[in-house]
Structure 1
Amino acid sequence: MEASRGLEIEKKYDVDAGAVVPDLGQAAGVARTGAPHTDLLEAVYFDTPNHALAARRITLRRRTGGKDAGWHLKLPPRGDQAAGEGPQQRTELHAPLGRPDAVPDALLTHLLAYLRGAVPVPVVRLDTRRTTYPLYGDDGVHLADLADDHVTAERLAGRGNDTRQEWREWELELVHGKPGLFGPVEELLLAAGAKPAGHASKLARALGPGTKAGKRAAGDAAADTPGTTAPALLAGKRAPAAAVVTVYVAQQVDAILAGDSAVRLEEPEAVHNMRSATRRIRSVLAAYAKLYRAAPVRKLRTELKWLGQLLGQPRDAEVLRAQLRGQLGALQSADGVETATAKVEQRTDADYDAAYRLLQEALGTERYFRLLDTLEEFRDNPPVRADSVAPGRRAAAKAVDKAAKRLQRSRKAAKRARRGREQELALHRVRKDAKRLRHVAESAVLVHGKRAGKVAKAAHRQQKVLGQHQDAVVARDLLAAIAAEYGEPATAGIYAELLSLQEERMAAAQAAYRKAWKKSRDLFSRGVL
């Protein structure tokens, strides 16, 4: 069964036991407060013994009582929002109660990249007496809920003398209201004795601030990974070069982890997005290699290449299948098109299914999980060489210039290449080098701004049109193989027409590439940044 999905936008407040809930109908934008109702909730939180989920600000619980009984999975906020002091936005997934000791597969799929082979077990139980005050607008719209929670928490793993805690908190969560509602309501709450919560979740408080997981779950800035706070790392013009890489790599690591479940569920564009993130990391590691100790970077790039190849096979098969389906669809009235379509779809479907099966198997291996460990370790503790002290702006400019020169060399080699397979391979190399320049320039945007952005866009234009050229080359080779294997006279004309179309697409892509190069020639003819 598929999990239901929602967006939770809330803000928490610590409050003393004797505080009185104010009349929130006095807040600007709130017309009235509805009748309060009380629920008794019991929630059991699941995690690994070393709190791998809590350390990443992920909450998994099974709750009984109240209107939303069931399994709940809350995924962490991403980017700058994760480090902010405003309302927290988190994706929340729900599944029915089911068995109390078995996490539903619909939720477990989203956790495999974080569990990495570990089995989640009960770690905390919370008993909450919750009184909910609904807030309504002039038009009767249910804007938000204020929950007045009296909480008793007990740690179930790592028992000691302080496993039981009690506290009270207020939680303001939007229903159909806008984030601007938080300000007026907060004024009344603070006046009643509340103060912004010192924890991001009840689980964080139950785990305790002394644990690393508790700090991470609470959003403690000191416990956050370096890659999550780009402004702090890149403040000032003298930010170190390694900080540029750390911030960029952290963004891609987030994309890989977030995209893992989407790939497992075969969501549209999921493989493409995850593959792009792996390529981006490989590109910047190659471009900034001198900043780091050689062995860790070499190992990481090797493992990323392995993952990228696994992602590339189903993605390439997917693109080829869609491309040929469209071309065959345009020939609907031609004789033999149904037979040709069946043969092409049989081959492309088989290639896609086989590649995706291999990818799914790889995502459950120890090798993949260790790669995720290595990526997070690189992000959190980069293996920077002791003598790597170059300012980020200078190092980024040098890396972009080097990548641009590499692209110019491959362009000249392609011009000298003989027509046919030699030229096709040379243009494929140009495409790869354009892609590397694009990624390196993207990293430089963090310190060079719009100028680096222009370089990235120019490189992307070249990469895109040469990608169309490569797609046509691959389609041509596959069609030739199918035509040779299934040489029915009725389909010969269809394959000949499709093969001719690929040659036309290749020629058009080459013309578009020359145009894109001329457009960016001045940009690349001197020091790029």
Structure 2
Amino acid sequence: MADTKREIERKYEGPTTGGGTGLPDLTSVSGVTGVIGKGVSELDATYYDTADQLLAAASITLRRRTGGADAGWHLKLPVSDGVRDEIRAPLSDTVPHALTSLVRSRLRDAELLPVVRLRSSRDVRHLVDDSGALLAEASVDRVRAERLGDGKGSTQWTEIEVELADDGDPAFLDKVEKKLLKAGLHRSASPSKLARALAETGAAPPARTPAPGKAPATAGDHVLAYVRAQRDALVELDPAVRRDLPDAVHRMRVATRRLRNVLRSYDDVLDRTVTDPVRDELKWLAGELAGERDQEVITRRLTASLDDLPKALRSGPVRNRLRTWSQARHSGSRRSLIEVLDGRRYLYLLATLDALVSDPPLRKAAGKKAAKVMGKAVRKDFEKLKDLVAEARGLPPGEERDLATHEARKKAKRTRYAAEAAVPALGKPAKSVAKSTKTLQKLLGDHQDSVMARDALRDLADKAQAAGESSFTYGLLYGREERQAAADESALAKAWKKAERKAAF
């Protein structure tokens, strides 16, 4: 079983560490009333990566460490500058599946190998406040690094590491840093011990996705830049989806939709005989993500509606039934989603996207001026959206109109994503279209969410009646959803007029 710790730390080096004088006096740092020595620990860590350092290229570290209070397997995933999530698993002879699954989108079928061994003598001090509460842990690490595998290269250095206590204020690290800088230290150039060890033992630099050599100029340049960004988003969001982090499923689903829609919108740039099969697979992945995401949306919507009801109108165990219903559906969809992410079909899709970016099936229009080609594509999508909105608004309320509204919503998304991709080339006009179609998409999406919420309320009411409970509250919430859908449709007319004005470029 793995557990997670948010790690916020900074590393320093300089004359103080190099001269062997150790940690400067930190008792004068504001808020610190005591510096408590916790002794010296001998740490021995072996770091794992692929032969071409796919994990290091993404600033990810995976190690097996003995010694200290947290011996075990540690996977560190970057969150932001100086902030990482450390996922821990107990010691074992092989890398735990709970950790390898979190980097599967990076590894694919590549083998993990021991690449570096770090042995550190860590002299630890606790910085505490007047109540004895821990503010941060400061340590002097004397590190010896040995390159593994090819049997070449070793190095050693001393660094100071300051790690914020759990739930601490990051501003406290600024106070400590001020003292350390005054003592002659400076921030370490390397983001991690592993990065420094790799650099100083003569290892080849990590394999990174090559950045374009120049700014995008042609239509092909711009479309491929957008496709590359969404491909990267899929890979980067994979661990968050597996960890069930808030909004991760939604963001991954959006990345698949952006990819799929842009490949269709810019079929003058990229050959559809190649991209259509990719779009089919992206549609499949989005569908697998839909169950998890739709459940999140419906549960959040119904919970908020229930919270808005006066207590006197909540008849029966409505909240408990909603919670049980949601948990049962979430558990099932979650297991199914993890099976998808662990499957060969998903890995093949990622590999196909890599190939699409590295060897794109460019058509003649790809070499033309971006503004002309991309502007034409955005206007073409908007005209199709115009027809669908008119069709939906012309139908009487009911299932047929709901279906037409849903189709208009999907086209609004395609138009929005086409405009987003065109912003670097077209500037303000594309940004205006993207903004106005996003508003349309939201209104149309709210309408679709209301349709799904009403279906869920019917299901909940049936279950409540079968259990001998009152269905009064479910009917009340159903009526509110109907009124909200009508309000969304009224707002749509105004939003549509604005979108039409913005699309006239």
Deviations 1:128-150 (A, max 9, x none): 456789999xxxx9899685645
The Cα of 1:274 is off from its aligned counterpart by 1.5
CA displacement, residues 170-208 of structure 1 (integer Å, 9 cap, x when unaligned): 566575655698799679869xxx9985x6555456557
CA distance in 2, matches of 1:35, 1:332: 53
1:252 and 2:212 are equivalent in the alignment: no
Where 2:91 maps in the other structure, the secondary structure is coil
- CA–CA separation in structure 2 for the residues paired with 1:470 and 1:170: 56
Shift of 1:9: 4.9
Higher deviation after alignment, 487-496 or 101-110: 487-496
CA contact (8 A) 2:8 2:84 kept: yes
AA in 1 matched with 2:60: I
Equivalent residue in structure 1 for 2:344, among 366, 380, 383: 366
Distance in 1 between residues matched to 2:204 and 2:115, nearest whole Å: 13
Aligned equivalents of 1:195, 1:343: Cα separation in 2: 54
Shift of the 446–173 alpha-carbon distance from structure 1 to 2, 3 Å rule, reads farther
Aligned pair partner of 1:215 in 200, 205, 208: 205
**Counterpart code for 1:91:** R
**Residue 427 of structure 1: how far off its partner (Å):** 1.3
Deviates more, 1:311-320 or 1:176-185: 176-185
Query: How far off is 1:57 after superposition?
Result: 2.9
Match of 1:44 among 43, 46, 68: 46
The match for 1:443 among 402, 421, 426 is: 421
Greater shift, 441-450 or 451-460, is seen at 441-450
TM-score by length of 1: 0.75
Q: 1:112 aligns with which of 79, 101, 104?
A: 104
Are residues 184 and 381 of structure 1, via their aligned partners in 2, closer, same or farther at CA, if it must alter by over 3 Å? farther
Q: CA deviation at 1:62?
A: 2.2
- Which amino acid letter does the alignment assign opposite residue 3 of structure 2? A
Whether contact under 8 Å (1:58, 1:73) holds in the other structure is yes
Give the letter aligned to residue 249 of structure 2. Answer: V
TM-aligned CA deviation for residue 484 of structure 1? 7.2
Aligned pairs for 1:188-203 within 5 A: 201-203=192-194
Match of 2:268 among 258, 279, 290: 290
**SS of the residue aligned with 1:417?**
coil
Distance 1:207 1:473, change over 3 A: same
1:416 alignment partner in structure 2:
394
Q: CA RMSD in A?
A: 4.7
Distance 2:188 2:461 in 1: 69
Deviation at 1:6, TM superposition (A): 2.9
Q: Taking structure 1 as reference, are residues 400 and 5 closer, same or farther at Cα in structure 2, changes over 3 Å only?
A: farther
Pair 1:333–1:44, CA change in 2 (3 A): same
**Counterpart selection for 1:266 from 244, 259, 270:** 244
Change beyond 3 A, Cα 1:172–1:401: farther
Alignment pair present for 1:153 and 2:142? no
Displacement of 1:288 in angstroms is 2.2
Counterpart selection for 1:281 from 234, 240, 259: 259
Q: CA 1:119/1:509 → structure 2, altered by over 3 Å: closer, same or farther?
A: same
- Once the two structures are TM-superposed, the CA of residue 471 in structure 1 deviates from its matched residue by 1.8
2:216 is the counterpart of 1:224:
no
Worse overlay, 303-312 or 67-76: 67-76
Instruction: Provide, for residues 338-372 of structure 1, a one-character-per-residue CA deviation record: whole Å limited to 9, x for no partner.
Output: 37777776665554443333212211111112222
Give percent identity, aligned residues only: 34
Q: Which moved more, 1:301-310 or 1:433-442?
A: 433-442
Query: Structure 2 residue aligned with 1:93, among 86, 89, 105?
Result: 86
Cross-structure match for 2:131: none
Structure 2: gaps (5+ residues)? 129-133, 165-169
Q: Which residue pairs with 1:61 in the alignment?
A: 63
| 1:427 partnered with 2:429 | no
Equivalent residues, number: 492
**Which residue in the other structure is 1:81 paired with?**
none
Deviation, structure 1 residue 45: 0.9
Please give the per-residue CA displacement for 1:202-248, whole angstroms capped at 9, x wherever unaligned: 5456557999x9422xxxxxx53246x8xx653xxx62333333433
Q: Separation in 1 of the partners of 2:56 and 2:487?
A: 52
Q: What's the secondary structure of 1:57's corresponding residue? A: coil
By how many angstroms is 1:153 displaced? 0.3
Kindly indicate whether the alpha-carbon contact (under 8 Å) linking 2:62 and 2:75 is maintained by their aligned counterparts in 1.
Answer: yes
Contact 2:429/2:502 (<8 A) preserved: no
Q: Distance in 2 between matches of 1:23 and 1:349?
A: 52
Conserved in 2, the CA contact under 8 Å of 1:472 and 1:502?
yes
Q: Which residue of 125, 134, 144 corresponds with 2:117?
A: 125
Check the 8 A contact 2:63/2:75 in 1, yes or no: yes
Taking a change above 3 Å as real, the CA distance of residues 188 and 485 of structure 1, as seen in their structure-2 partners, is closer
Change (3 A) 1:25 1:382: farther
* Residue 467 of structure 1: aligned partner: 445
How far does the alpha carbon of each residue in 1:405-458 deviate from its partner, in whole angstroms, 9 at most, with x for none? 222222222233344333222211211111222222222333444543332221
Unaligned stretches of 5+ residues in structure 1: 79-87, 217-222
Distance 2:222 2:434 in 1: 16
In 1, Cα distance between equivalents of 2:158 and 2:204: 18
Q: 2-side partners of 1:35 and 1:311: how far apart?
A: 49
Does 396-405 or 123-132 show the bigger shift? Answer: 123-132
What's 2:497 paired with? 518
Matches within 5 A, 1:310-325: 310-325=288-303
Q: Secondary structure at the match of 1:75?
A: strand
